[in-house]
Amino acid sequence: MKRLMLFLLTPALVPAVAVAQTTVQLSVQAPPAHPDAQATDPVAMGWMVGAPPPPERLIQRDDMSFMKFPQIRWSFSHWREFLPTAEISRGDGPVSLLPQTPRDDLDDVTFAPLGSDTPMTWAQSLSANYTDGIMVMHRGAIVYERYLGALKPQGQHIAHSVTKSFVGTAAAMLIAEGRLDRDAKVARYIPELADGAFADATVGQVLDMTTGLAYSEVYTDPDSDAFAFILAGGTMPQPPGYDGPKTTFDYLKTLKKAGEHGKDFAYKSVNTEVVGWLVSRVSGQPLAQVLSERFWAPMGMERDAYIQVDSAGVGFAAGGLNLQLRDLGRFCEMMRNNGTFNGRQIVPSAVVRDIAGGGDQTAFASAGYTTLPGWSYHNQWWISHNDHGAYMARGVHGQACYVDPKAEMIIVRFASYPQAGNALLDPTSLPAYQAIAEHLIATDLQD
Amino acid sequence: MKRLMLFLLTPALVPAVAVAQTTVQLSVQAPPAHPDAQATDPVAMGWMVGAPPPPERLIQRDDMSFMKFPQIRWSFSHWREFLPTAEISRGDGPVSLLPQTPRDDLDDVTFAPLGSDTPMTWAQSLSANYTDGIMVMHRGAIVYERYLGALKPQGQHIAHSVTKSFVGTAAAMLIAEGRLDRDAKVARYIPELADGAFADATVGQVLDMTTGLAYSEVYTDPDSDAFAFILAGGTMPQPPGYDGPKTTFDYLKTLKKAGEHGKDFAYKSVNTEVVGWLVSRVSGQPLAQVLSERFWAPMGMERDAYIQVDSAGVGFAAGGLNLQLRDLGRFCEMMRNNGTFNGRQIVPSAVVRDIAGGGDQTAFASAGYTTLPGWSYHNQWWISHNDHGAYMARGVHGQACYVDPKAEMIIVRFASYPQAGNALLDPTSLPAYQAIAEHLIATDLQD
């Protein structure tokens, strides 16, 4: 397997699925190894322009260039052009309109990046984070919305691990409905996993990622199991001579337990694939249909979404969702409103309260996320436990849905940061979100 | 190459792109070699149901089962789940509403299938043709609309070679705009083809498929060049050891001339790929964008469509369009209305008149289509030259857009007939369309 990995791994390779952040040191002062957002503007670079595009503008899956920087500045907004995908239908109901009360005072809001004494403005943070699209909603109205790079208002962008929070929320709803038992062993629902790592893990443990797995997710290491995972699922093309598992589910069966379940938090995307399997098994529906019926149709989403599928047609639960930025905003806003949206109770309020309440902070601390002190992970969401009660969905390269209940604010962002780990973006993101929240509260008081 | 073809070719294989019909004999009396439409109902068969689907319900591209019958009864409505695709955006304008005046008298309309003395009803013809969806419009209103099989009203179905007529119409518009010269040699626009079969073919000759090519399109023959064509374009997976062209355009460069250009009609899909190349080259846009800007957005189409792309992101002009049935109806109705639709002139009326007027019937006759006596082929459309002035877009396995100007009628159909050639469906389709047309005219007169 190692030779196959080396075949695929190149220095510039920045795989687009979740990456462990535990080894990343906080060092925002270091000059970036990559050209900046303006120099890598995907429209100016002319990616995929031409009939056919000339070699220097061509992006392909076969050579993995669709997962390299700066090509990702284009490919993240055109994921379906590289891989098979299943539609997540919004149905044919009316679109839920989002009120617009645009504000021009946010660009100048200033914050101090984590670990830095040099202030930065909100406007500056957008290019620092290679933002493709960002939207701020306050008290239910859009107050700020920008599109940069290759993303357009009607376009769809890959959400990467933000996908996990959609799938985790669907699982939590099934638990609330009594169709899935959080304390039951995974193998009760998925006998196919009775012999492997997940056999004696509970539903709650895979949801909170406290399983003990012999599985490493470090993309700078060619021996990392993460490569075998995304090879099986088809994000990476299976090279000549490949004889490993051909689907994600077949890969899950090969995993072995290491250590204890239910102890430490360890961010491993394979847990989410088990969650996706549980959701599909219990609901009797493919993931795309679950997301359509539970979120896209009842919420009056603006656009159909889609999810990457493997060779068995199974949706990539850990990172395959592609959706419109405004629809991510609707989802985030629904969570802020205790599960109500479009005049309906989309998610039971108890489920939202449980997610927002967070998980085990001690279990989380053991993972060593320097940019997330005091946080926890619960039902595939990241909870800050700060005094605003903020919580997040997070995906590599800067995808985010940030809920700030106290400020009655949500922020959603799509980005194509050169490297995968969000620890690199957090310094210019988390304090920026907090500054916008405080600014909105302060200006409210002035009203 | 032959060994690769044998690797992929199986007796049940019915590739889903255009097939030459010249060798098909008219014999509707022969019992079908395949189970009927009811026995192969894709919903009842449970294709792709399960997490994961069990082997007997699994459809995949890797093993080419997505192109076999009866799996095509499901896969034709889920094409994007097997291959990379590009969106054809409808934009965000309002949907052009189609008036509905449903009629319940069409199911009993009776006709005599070609070569048969046994009458058949319209309703019977639907299952005889393995219809997935069919819609009849009369004087601008939907009078009949049915969905069978795996297709839903909001769903998208592969159009196969009906795609050609969209691309051909776009090319004819560019000619009318003076941006493309019908009499110019292809190599003037595409120097990359200066050394091959198309070098001295004119734009008009590729549009009317009167090129002389050393290229056979016979899917029952493992030596047929058609396999090399769809391997290069990626519909078939490129097997281990494959060292042929990796994109459609690279394949086109390998073709050699045989015989004369401008003489006989010979239905060869590679011509359409040249048309697609011309359209993209001259417009400076990928095919998906051309179709969006020329048809989907201004016509107020109901749903986004999509087109299969190869590994260079190039749309499959000869057969890769997937769209909603009603949107195919809109396109067909636009043609019937001399290019006007949604209050706009979508296609210049002169372009529509030229297409409806047809091409060289003598050149067409040499191809020996027994079910299409007196027809011609022009700008990627099939023209009947009957006394109703009917003309068609046609795709393998029963895809159709039928325009009957005299009856002020259009019929659009998606189907998943077991075999590719439309000569097998024509006997229960063409006289059925004619009978509906005459019935509509007759009942008009009674009003």
Cβ contact A7:A241 at 8 Å? no
Residues of B in CB contact (< 8 Å) with A are 48, 51-53, 58-62, 78, 80-87, 89, 91-92, 154, 156, 240-241, 246-247, 249, 277, 280-281, 284, 286, 304, 306, 309, 311-314
Helices (DSSP H) in B116-254: which residue ranges?
A: 122-128, 162-176, 186-189, 203-208, 225-233, 248-254
| % of chain A surpassing 70 pLDDT | 92
**Chain B residue closest to A302 (CA)?**
B92
Task: Report, as an integer, the average pLDDT of B266-285.
Answer: 98
pLDDT per position as a tens digit, B95-112: 999 999 999 999 999 999
Task: Report, as an integer, the average pLDDT of A245-269.
Answer: 97
What band does A222 get if pLDDT is binned at 50, 70 and 90? confident
Residue B194 three-state SS = coil
Written as one string, the DSSP assignment of B372-425 is STT-EEETTEEE--STT--EEEEEGGGEEEEEETTTTEEEEEEE--SSS-GGGT
Span between the terminal Cα atoms of chain B, in Å: 63
pLDDT per position as a tens digit, B369-418: 999 999 999 999 999 999 999 999 999 999 999 999 999 999 999 999 99
What band does B193 get if pLDDT is binned at 50, 70 and 90? very high
Q: Is the pLDDT of residue A1 over 60?
A: no
Res A8: pLDDT: 41
Residues of A in contact with B324 (CB under 8 A): none
What band does B359 get if pLDDT is binned at 50, 70 and 90? very high
Cβ contact A78:A306 at 8 Å? no
| % of chain B surpassing 90 pLDDT | 89
CA–CA dist A198, A195 (Å, integer): 8
Q: Is the pLDDT of residue A36 over 60?
A: yes
Q: Is the pLDDT of residue B1 over 50?
A: no
Q: Which of A59, A92, A286 sits opposite B154 (nearest CB)?
A: A92
pLDDT per position as a tens digit, A54-67: 999 999 999 999 99
β-strands A381-383, A376-378 pairing: antiparallel
Give me the residue label for tokens 């406007």: A123
Task: Report, as an integer, the average pLDDT of B227-240.
Answer: 93
Q: Which helix (H) or strand (E) holds A85?
A: strand A85-88
pLDDT per position as a tens digit, B303-345: 999 999 999 999 999 999 999 999 999 999 999 999 999 999 9
Q: Is the pLDDT of residue A26 over 70?
A: no
Q: How many angstroms away from the CA of A221 is the closest CA of chain B? A: 27
Task: Report, as an integer, the average pLDDT of B346-354.
Answer: 98
Res A32: pLDDT: 56
Res A30: pLDDT: 52
B308 is written with which tokens? 């299969």
**Chain B residue closest to A90 (CA)?**
B154
> Which range (A26-40, A181-195, A237-251, B282-296) has the least confidence?
A26-40
- Specify burial of residue A107 (Cβ count, 10 A radius: 0-12, 13-18, 19+): middle
User: Under an 8 A CB cutoff, do B51 and A311 touch?
Assistant: no
> Which range (B78-87, B163-172, B236-245, B257-266) has the least confidence?
B236-245
User: Under an 8 A CB cutoff, do B80 and A82 touch?
Assistant: no
Nearest residue to B131 (alpha-carbon basis) of B151, B113, B112, B116: B151
Q: Is the pLDDT of residue B2 over 50?
A: no
CA–CA dist A181, A399 (Å, integer): 30
φ and ψ of A293, to 5 deg = -75, -30
ipTM strictly over 0.85? yes
Nearest residue to A150 (alpha-carbon basis) of A15, A40, A55, A34: A40
Cβ contact A389:A406 at 8 Å? yes
Radius of gyration of chain B (CA): 21
CA–CA dist B375, B361 (Å, integer): 6
Res B303: pLDDT: 95
Give me the residue label for tokens 């077991």: B418
Q: Is the pLDDT of residue A388 over 60?
A: yes
Give me the residue label for tokens 């005459």: B438
Res B446: pLDDT: 66
What are the beta bridge partners of residue B306? Answer: B87, B322
Q: Is the pLDDT of residue A279 over 70?
A: yes
E strands, B35-178, where? 85-88, 110-111, 120-121, 131-138, 141-147, 157-158
User: At residue A381, what is the residue type?
Assistant: W
Res A71: pLDDT: 98
Residues of A in contact with B48 (CB under 8 A): 286, 313
Q: Is the pLDDT of residue A220 over 90?
A: no
